[in-house]
């Protein structure tokens, strides 16, 4: 009995030591996750149940903040604006990023230089990108209108016309992020075996068929990740709108994130802004769940 007890104690200590070792290795990831993600989410949910100002004065109001939001048409309008931007920008970024990756993947001169040039805008901050395109789209002295007038075309009020304002934000966003998308597609292309293309050449497959039946299936995993992250990034649109259009003209380009920002920092209604953030977080989780189910259904 004594030997068995010692063996059991030794096994328990060994298991406990292994668990502590696992926790120690996970700590560099878990601590930032708890501090910067889990705790702010819980704190935001708590604040959303209160009437909270910048001075920290709190008054419990229950679900009144959520009732105000769900009965206010502005919340749905600005949520739709964010979705509208996603619908505009994601197909362009994915398609253009894939096209650039396919072109650069070929053995062309100055391949490394082109890759660096296309990726360079992505290392800049959203503020820098937005200010660059704010000047580019200036109605009087912007480079875009100067080029249009040189070509004999009429100038466009890019930032003060509803449709043009959206497209100016789309163009700035595509220019900023397409290089990152291109690099990920390039990495995916390099993982596709060249033997598949050689076999297709022997069978007399056309370029389209090789793209359709070899390249696209080979990039399916990268494509799913790209689409997912671009949708989430598009829904969180803020910097370009804040700097380039300030939500205008009117509130045409006002997005849900800017709406939350104005509620909290301009109107000093942090409880209401926290409730808006909580609902928006739930909405993004639903979008992610729907996308996950659609992808899994296609795979099955």
Residue 221 main-chain phi, psi, to 5 deg: -65, -45
* Local confidence band at 86 (pLDDT 50, 70, 90 cut-offs): very high
pLDDT tens across 135-164, in order?
999 988 899 999 999 998 888 999 999 889
The distance from CA 162 to its chain's CA centroid, rounded to whole angstroms, is 23
Domain extents for the chain?
Answer: 2-47, 72-299
Pick 183 or 15 by higher pLDDT.
Answer: 183
Cβ atoms of residues 222 and 135 within 8 Å: no
* CATH code for the structural domain at 72-299: 1.10.3720.10
* Span 256-285, average pLDDT: 94
**pLDDT score of 282 more than 80:** yes
94/185 Cα distance (integer angstroms): 9
The pLDDT of residue 11: 53
pLDDT tens across 157-190, in order?
999 998 899 999 999 999 999 999 999 999 999 8
Q: Which of 124, 236, 147 is nearest to 158 (CA)?
A: 147
Query: Whole-model pTM?
Result: 0.87
Query: Mean pLDDT lowest for which of 109-118, 135-144, 235-244?
Result: 109-118
The pLDDT of residue 295: 75
**pLDDT score of 35 more than 80:** yes
* Span 13-20, average pLDDT: 62
The pLDDT of residue 242: 95
* Local confidence band at 70 (pLDDT 50, 70, 90 cut-offs): very high
């Amino acid at each position: 009995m004594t030997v068995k007890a010692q063996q059991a104690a030794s096994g328990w200590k060994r298991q406990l030591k292994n668990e502590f070792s696992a926790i120690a290795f996970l700590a560099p990831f878990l601590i930032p996750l708890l501090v910067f993600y889990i705790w702010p989410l819980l704190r935001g949910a708590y604040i959303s149940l209160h009437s909270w100002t910048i001075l920290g004065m709190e008054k419990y109001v229950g679900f009144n903040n959520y009732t105000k939001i769900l009965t206010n048409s502005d919340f749905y309008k600005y949520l739709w604006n964010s979705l509208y931007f996603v619908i505009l920008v994601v197909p362009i970024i994915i398609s253009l990023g894939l096209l650039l990756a396919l072109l650069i993947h070929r053995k062309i001169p100055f391949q490394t230089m082109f890759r660096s040039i296309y990726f360079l805008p992505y290392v800049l901050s959203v503020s820098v990108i937005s200010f660059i395109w704010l000047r580019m789209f200036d109605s009087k002295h912007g480079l875009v209108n100067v080029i249009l007038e040189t070509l004999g075309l009429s100038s466009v009020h890019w930032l003060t016309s509803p449709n043009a304002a959206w497209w100016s934000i789309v163009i700035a966003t595509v220019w900023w992020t397409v290089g990152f998308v291109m690099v990920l597609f390039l990495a995916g292309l390099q993982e596709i075996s060249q033997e598949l293309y050689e076999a297709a050449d022997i069978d007399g497959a056309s370029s389209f068929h090789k793209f359709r039946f070899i390249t696209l299936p080979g990039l399916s995993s990268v494509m799913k990740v790209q689409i997912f992250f671009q949708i989430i990034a598009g829904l969180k649109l803020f910097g370009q709108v804040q700097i380039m259009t300030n939500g205008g003209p009117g509130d045409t380009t006002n997005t849900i994130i800017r709406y939350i920002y104005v509620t909290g920092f301009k109107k000093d209604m942090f409880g209401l802004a926290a409730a808006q953030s909580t609902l928006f977080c739930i909405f993004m989780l639903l979008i992610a769940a729907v996308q996950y189910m659609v992808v899994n259904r296609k795979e099955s």
